[in-house]
Structure 1
Amino acid sequence: MIDPVLLWITALAAALVFASSALMKFRNLETFEGAVVNYRMLPKFFARPFAYAVPIAELSGAIAIVMPVTRVMGSIVLLCLTFAFTAAIVINLMRGRYDVDCGCFGPALRQTLSWWLVIRNVMLMGMVAIASCRADDRALSLFDWFTVTAGVVTLLVLYAGANYAFANLSKLRELGTRYA
């Protein structure tokens, strides 16, 4: 059993990451469908249904992980999705296909495939796994909720900062190659 503060921090942070990812995909499903096709993992005829199903599953898992009754099921959904995404990234990296857009957050944050994405996804899976653990039955105090809020904000700032840094790193490399 873990402290409920840690459980709430990881559950809420994971929910916000996956919900924002789903909403970005919903905003431009055609672009996400293109990213799915570019992975070359599925038959083309299956790309559209898959591209529509992924954000629905992400949003469902994000909602479920914050409710104690459905937290384990939400965690399983998010773990399965992240494992599948990570496997697709690794397979493409092993094929030497680094120029594929990951499609993680739609066109708003274009990121080419890299081992950083694999590491990021493994950390996300760890966070989701922690959220699925049983917590102590103690009630949270006002200070605990402040700690939860600070923890969630900290995790999200670190996650977003790392994502933007690595997204821009690939762009800087492209510029360096172009002008070298």
Structure 2
Amino acid sequence: MLDPLVIKLLSLAFALLLAAAAWHKLTEPVRFRGILAAYWLLPEALVAPAAWLFAVLEIGLAIAWALGWNPAATAAATAALLGVYTLAIGVNLLRGRIYIDCGCGFGASGGSGQQLSSRLLLRNALLIAAALAAALPPAPRQLLLADYVGLASACVVLALLYLGANQLLLNAQAINSWRKPPAGSNPT
């Protein structure tokens, strides 16, 4: 059993995360199709329908999390979707294709897109675990006014932590690019 406040927090966090992810896909559809095509996992004819499907799934899941609709199914579907994203990243890491945009927010920090790294696999594994944890049955207790104040504060803190972690991933990517000499250059 999980405290109902934790379940509510995870539900709101996933609703916000998935709504933001869908927003990026819907407001920049051409760019997202390009990112999806760069993974080299789908035939060209399926890229546009898949891009649309991912956005629709994310919207549907965001709404389901926000409304508390069938928590077990919502958690399983979210974990499955994140699993697909994680698998796509993993396949391309194994191929050595690290210099493609992961599609994780389209470089919302103002820089270029976030490139693939093993850190994204860890981040996604943590998100999958959190989604599945939200499917646990709630402990029998009522939420009080103080819980809702704490919930609002915790949502802000979680959002800031997530954005901070993504910025750290982007910073690590930038630092790594500074350390590598350009192709064909002589480092001496």
Do both proteins adopt the same fold according to a TM-score greater than 0.5, normalized to the shorter chain? yes
Higher Rg of the two aligned structures: 2
What residue number does 1:128 align with? Answer: 131
- Matches of 2:128 and 2:82, distance apart in 1: 7
Q: Which one-letter code corresponds to 2:108 in the other structure? A: A
The letter of the residue matching 1:100 is I
Q: TM-score when scaled to structure 1? A: 0.92
Partner residue of 1:58? 58
Of 167-176 and 31-40, deviating more is 167-176
Distance in 1 (alpha carbons) for counterparts of 2:107 and 2:27: 9
Kindly indicate which of the two structures has a greater share of residues assigned to helix.
1
Match of 1:34? 34
Residue of structure 2 in register with 1:67 after alignment:
67
Pick which of 17-26 and 144-153 moved more.
Answer: 144-153
- Match of 2:67, SS state, is coil
Q: Does 1:175 align with 2:183?
A: no
CA positional deviation for 1:4 = 0.2
From 154, 158, 168, give the equivalent of 2:157.
Answer: 154
Does the CA-based 8 Å contact 2:106-2:114 persist in structure 1?
no
Distance 1:160 1:121 in 2: 14
Change (3 A) 1:137 1:68: farther
Q: Give the superposition deviation at 1:103.
A: 0.7
Task: Give the superposition deviation at 1:61.
Answer: 0.6
Q: Secondary structure at the match of 2:116?
A: coil
Supply the distance in 1 between the matched residues of 2:141 and 2:66 (Cα, whole angstroms): 17
Structure 1 stretch displaced more, 60-69 or 152-161: 60-69
**Which amino acid counterpart does residue 55 of structure 1 have in structure 2?**
A
What is the Cα-based RMSD across aligned positions, in Å? Answer: 1.7
Distance 1:47 1:69 in 2: 30
Deviations, residues 117-144 of structure 1 (Å, cap 9, x unaligned): 0011011111111222211232210111
**Equivalent position amino acid for 1:146 in 2:** V
Q: Summarize the Cα distance change of 1:149–1:105 in structure 2 as closer, same or farther, 3 Å threshold.
A: same
TM-score by length of 2: 0.89
Residue of structure 1 in register with 2:148 after alignment: 145
Residue type at the aligned position of 1:147:
G
Which digits, 9 at most, give the CA deviation of each residue in 1:7-58, with x for residues without a partner?
A: 0111111111111111011110111111111101111110000011101101
Letter in 1 for 2:51: A
Distance 1:18 1:46 in 2: 22
Identity of aligned residues (%): 31
Asked whether the equivalents of residues 15 and 62 of structure 2 are also in contact (C-alpha less than 8 Å), the reply is yes
Answer yes or no: is the 8 Å Cα contact 2:98–2:117 preserved in 1.
Answer: yes
| Partner residue in 2 for 1:97 | 97
The answer as to whether partners of 2:11 and 2:68 remain within 8 angstroms in 1 is no
State the alpha-carbon separation in 2 of the partners of residues 17 and 63 from structure 1.
11
